[in-house]
Structure 1
């Protein structure tokens, strides 16, 4: 049985703009959150998502319906983010980074009844520490950690997205967790 996304991809390939708009609607936020966590820069994340949809649109004819559409689109987005990380210069603008911290996690912005300003501050500080620790991971661990714990993909899906064996994914998740544990033990 063909998935809804595969049907939309077929329709979009035939020129149905509404079908492509539906694909964008389904994946835009998910891809943005992943890209933002990988790149830690709002503008770059938005650009990466836009580039992803351009690449998807241009390559719809190459989509294999035997593969999950989500795996295909995540692979494109992840590769574009990795390319951006590789191209980055070692120095960065402090101004660009300082404006970007209020949106570390959209879900943390949603108030709940039992949160106080003090608990919000503490939670925010812990989240910032965790995000900074994730940012210090080597790219090969950072990518799998983001896909596993922030995008909640299975080990098999990560293997499909990154085109690597599940055993390699497991190893990188384990080493990434160890790296984070050591970093956070020093920080917290």
Structure 2
């Protein structure tokens, strides 16, 4: 049954892939639910699993059961999620180091004005707190764009969302940070 639906999906029949989704969703959900407790994240990873499966369906050779192949994709999505969470945590922790926040401290070793140095450290802490207030998806997008200097296309692939979504998230994150900075009395630069 799966093989027929796979062939139809490859031929462009969206309803066939929907059937595959409905037949295997609970299995994928169960595999991921054993590892995750957050329902929103769980739903996102299930969706990402089927998105990747759809994109990679042409690589399914039929040597194993479709359910086995799909489970492997789910586990890979989960591992990618863990790496992303760990990287983001490392980034946020590094934000506690004022040097890690681009543009907040500039050559403080050479700084002659200790008052300015203390003010910059305080400013770095305020920036770090403001970043932590952003929704996780905004922080991810900002991290990829401004810390890793990734292109929009690389970000869309990593987050598995459309280009417009990435641009919206970045725009909203910048707007939210500007508002937060304004409230805190921080001026750009």
User: What TM-score do you get using the length of structure 1 for normalisation?
Assistant: 0.44
Identify the structure with bigger relative contact order (alpha carbons < 8 Å, sequence gap 6+).
1
Rg larger in structure: 2
